[in-house]
C-alpha cells in the first residue's frame, strides 16, 4: 500500500505531475530545451519574487548550497545555524577549503538580526548564509529583520537556504536583497527529488568572477555563463524529466495563485500547531514557527517508530525527530499539495492510534 507522505521531503506528488516525468525525451541542445528552460525561469521568477537569473542544477538542494559557498566566498563566509541544515552549510565550506565561521544557536531558537549585525560589523566576512526554514527544528527565521541589517553591508553576498519553504511561504528575494536563494524540488514545490533551483544575482555573478577555484560541476558561474551564451541550456545534460514536471507544476501553482497557496500553508500550519499544543508541546520558539512543518516535543514519551508503523498500516507516514532529536520530537510536514482535509484525516488517525 502506498503511504501518503507527511514527511518534510520527499512530499506527496500529484499523479498528473508524476505523469509529466514520463514525457518522451528531447535533445538537451534543441530549441525545445531552450524554450522549456525559458518558461521555467520566467515562472520561477514569479515564485521567487525576483528579476535576477534562475539556475537549475541536476543535484538535490545540497548541491547548490555547496556550489554557492564555494563559488562566491573570496574572503570568509559566516554561517548562521539554527539546526542540522545550517551546520551542514558550514561542513560544506570546510570540506571545500573555504574559510568559514559558524554561529550556532540552541536548537529551537532563531538567528536574530542583532547576531548577524554583530558578526558582519567585524568586516571579516564577504558571504553570509542563513537558513530560512530549519527542517530539523521546525523553525522559520525572521528573514525580513535579518535582511534589513544585511543591507548595511553591500560587500556581503547573502545566501538563503529556502529548501523547505520556497513555494509554501512568501519569500521576496529581491526585496530582501538575497543574492542566492536555494530550493529543491521535493519539498514545498511538490515534485520528485533530483533537481535544485537558485536565484543568482548580478552581485553574486561579479563576486564569483573574482573567486579562483570554484570547482567544476557546482560552479554557479559556469552554469550562469552557459545559460547566457547558449540560450538557456546547461553545460552538462540536465534532468529533462524534472524540467517537464516543473514546467507543468509551476503552471498549477500560478493557477492556484501564490497568495492562495501561501494562505493554505498558513492554515495547515495553524491546524497542526493547535493539535500539537493540545496534546504535546511545540519544539521551536513560538515566535518563529515554520509554515511548512511542525515539530512536536514528545512530552507523552510515545514510541514514535511504533506510531509510524501503525500509521503505515493505515496508509500514512510522518517523521521522527532529526539527528539528536530522533526520539525527543516528531515532525509533521504540511507542504506542497497537502490540504487541510489530508491533515484532518492524519490527525484523526493519530488520535485513534494513541487514544488521545
Ligand atoms: C532538505 C533540506 C536540505 C537539503 O536538501 P536536499 O535537496 O535534500 O539536498 C537543506 N536545507 C533544508 C532546510 C532542508 O530542509
Is the residue at 250 inside a domain?
A: no
Domain match, 30 and 126 both? yes
Tell me the average pLDDT of the chain. Answer: 98
Residue 58 lies in a domain: yes
Q: What is the pTM of this model?
A: 0.98
Domain that holds residue 315: 4-10+256-354
List Cβ<8 Å contacts ≥24 apart for 178-183: 178/147, 179/72, 179/203, 179/204, 180/64, 180/68, 180/72, 180/204, 180/220, 181/48, 181/50, 182/61, 182/64, 182/65, 182/68, 183/61
Alpha helices in the chain (DSSP H): 15-20, 31-48, 61-72, 84-95, 113-120, 143-150, 173-176, 202-210, 220-229, 240-256, 258-279, 304-313, 340-354
Q: How many domains does the chain have?
A: 2
pLDDT at position 179, please?
Answer: 99
**Same domain for 293 and 159:** no
Strands 4-5 and 133-134: unpaired
Residue with cell 506527496: 12
Residues of the chain above pLDDT 90, percent: 99
- Same structural domain for residues 307 and 193? no
**Cβ atoms of 14 and 136 closer than 8 Å:** no
SS3 161: strand
Residues 263, 232 share a domain: no
Please write the tens of the pLDDT for every residue from 274-301: 999 999 999 999 999 999 999 999 999 9
pLDDT at 11: 98
Mean pLDDT of 153-169: 98
User: Could you tell me the strand order of the sheet in which 127-131 lies?
Assistant: 53-57, 196-200, 180-184, 157-161, 127-131, 77-81, 100-104
- DSSP class of 20: H
What are the pLDDT digits (tens) for 316-327? Answer: 999 999 999 998
Residue 338 pLDDT: 98
* Grid coordinates belonging to 62: 545540497
pLDDT value of position 60: 98
Which pLDDT band, with edges at 50, 70 and 90, does 101 fall under?
very high
Which of 61, 136, 334 has the most ligand 1 atoms within 8 A of CB, as the residue to mutate?
61
Which helix (H) or strand (E) is 104 found in, with range?
A: strand 100-104
On whether residue 246 sits in a domain, the answer given is no
Each residue of 37-95: pLDDT tens digit? 999 999 999 999 999 999 999 999 999 999 999 999 999 999 999 999 999 999 999 99
Of 184, 211, 239, which residue is a domain's last?
Answer: 239
Q: Are residues 69 and 193 in the same domain?
A: yes
The answer on 170 and 297 residing in a single domain is no
Top mutation candidate among 83, 87, 92, 163 for ligand 1, by most atoms within 8 Å of CB: 163
How buried is residue 255: exposed, middle or buried, by Cβ count under 10 Å (0-12/13-18/19+)?
A: exposed
Residue 251, domain member (yes or no): no
**Is 174 domain-assigned?**
yes
- For residues 183 and 325, membership in a common domain is answered with no
Question: Which atom in ligand 1 lies closest to the alpha carbon of residue 65?
Answer: 10
The per-residue pLDDT for 175 is 98
Residue at which a domain ends, from 239, 265, 292: 239
Is there a single domain that holds both residue 68 and residue 129? yes
The DSSP output letter for 169 is B
Read off the pLDDT of residues 207-236 as tens digits, 9 standing for 90 and up. 999 999 999 999 999 999 999 999 999 999
From the CA of 164, how far away is ligand 1's center (Å)?
7
**Which residues lie closer than 8 Å to 183 by C-beta, 6 or more apart?**
61, 162, 163, 165, 166, 167, 189, 196, 197, 198
**pLDDT band at residue 184 under the 50/70/90 scheme:** very high
- Residue 131 resides in a domain: yes
Alpha-carbon distance of 81 to 129, in angstroms, equals: 8
Domain assignment of residue 298, yes or no? yes
pLDDT band at 109 (very low <50, low <70, confident <90, very high): very high
In a shared domain, residues 129 and 101: yes
| Final residue of a structural domain among 191, 213, 239 | 239
Does residue 137 line the site of ligand 1, with CB under 6 A? no
Please state the φ and ψ torsions of residue 79, each to the nearest 5 degrees.
-110, 120
Residue 92 belongs to domain with CATH number: 3.40.640.10
Structure confidence at residue 116 (pLDDT): 98
Let me know whether 160 and 43 are in one domain.
Answer: yes
Residues 222 and 297 in one domain: no
| 77 within domain boundaries | yes
Q: What is the mean pLDDT of residues 153-173?
A: 98
336 and 273 in one domain?
Answer: yes
What is the CATH number for 320? 3.90.1150.10
pLDDT in tens, 142-151: 999 999 999 9
Amino acid at each position: 500500500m502506498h503511504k501518503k507522505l507527511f514527511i518534510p521531503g520527499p512530499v506527496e506528488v500529484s499523479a498528473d505531475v508524476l505523469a509529466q516525468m514520463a514525457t518522451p525525451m528531447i535533445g538537451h541542445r534543441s530549441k525545445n530545451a531552450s524554450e522549456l528552460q525559458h518558461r521555467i525561469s520566467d515562472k520561477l521568477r514569479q515564485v521567487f519574487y525576483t528579476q535576477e537569473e534562475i539556475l537549475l542544477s541536476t543535484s538535490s538542494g545540497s548541491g547548490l548550497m555547496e556550489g554557492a559557498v564555494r563559488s562566491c566566498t573570496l574572503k570568509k563566509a559566516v554561517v548562521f545555524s539554527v539546526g542540522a541544515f545550517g551546520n551542514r552549510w558550514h561542513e560544506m565550506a570546510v570540506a571545500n577549503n573555504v574559510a568559514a565561521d559558524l554561529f550556532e544557536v540552541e536548537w529551537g531558537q532563531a538567528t536574530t538580526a542583532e547576531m548577524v549585525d554583530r558578526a558582519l560589523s567585524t568586516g571579516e566576512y564577504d558571504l553570509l548564509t542563513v537558513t530560512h526554514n530549519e527542517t530539523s527544528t521546525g523553525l522559520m527565521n525572521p528573514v525580513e529583520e535579518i535582511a534589513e541589517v544585511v543591507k548595511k553591508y553591500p560587500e556581503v553576498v547573502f545566501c538563503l537556504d529556502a529548501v523547505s519553504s520556497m513555494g509554501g511561504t512568501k519569500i521576496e528575494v529581491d526585496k530582501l536583497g538575497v543574492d542566492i536563494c536555494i530550493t529543491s524540488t521535493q519539498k514545498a514545490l511538490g515534485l520528485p527529488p533530483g533537481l535544485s533551483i537558485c536565484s543568482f544575482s548580478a552581485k553574486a555573478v561579479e563576486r564569483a568572477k573574482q573567486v579562483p577555484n570554484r570547482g567544476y560541476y557546482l560552479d554557479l558561474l559556469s552554469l550562469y555563463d552557459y545559460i547566457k551564451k547558449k540560450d538557456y541550456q546547461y553545460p552538462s545534460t540536465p534532468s529533462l524529466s524534472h524540467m517537464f514536471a516543473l514546467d507543468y507544476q509551476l503552471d498549477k501553482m500560478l493557477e492556484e495563485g501564490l497568495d492562495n497557496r501561501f494562505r493554505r500553508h498558513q492554515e495547515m500550519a495553524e491546524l497542526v500547531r493547535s493539535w500539537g499544543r493540545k496534546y504535546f508541546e511545540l519544539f521551536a520558539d513560538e515566535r518563529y514557527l515554520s509554515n511548512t512543518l511542525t515539530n512536536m516535543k514528545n512530552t507523552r514519551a510515545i514510541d514514535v517508530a511504533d506510531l509510524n508503523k501503525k500509521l503505515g498500516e493505515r496508509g500514512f507516514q510522518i517523521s521522527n525527530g532529526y539527528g539528536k532529536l530522533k526520539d525527543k520530537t516528531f515532525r509533521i510536514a504540511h507542504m506542497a499539495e497537502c490540504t487541510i482535509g489530508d491533515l484532518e484525516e492524519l490527525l484523526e488517525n493519530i488520535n485513534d492510534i494513541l487514544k488521545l
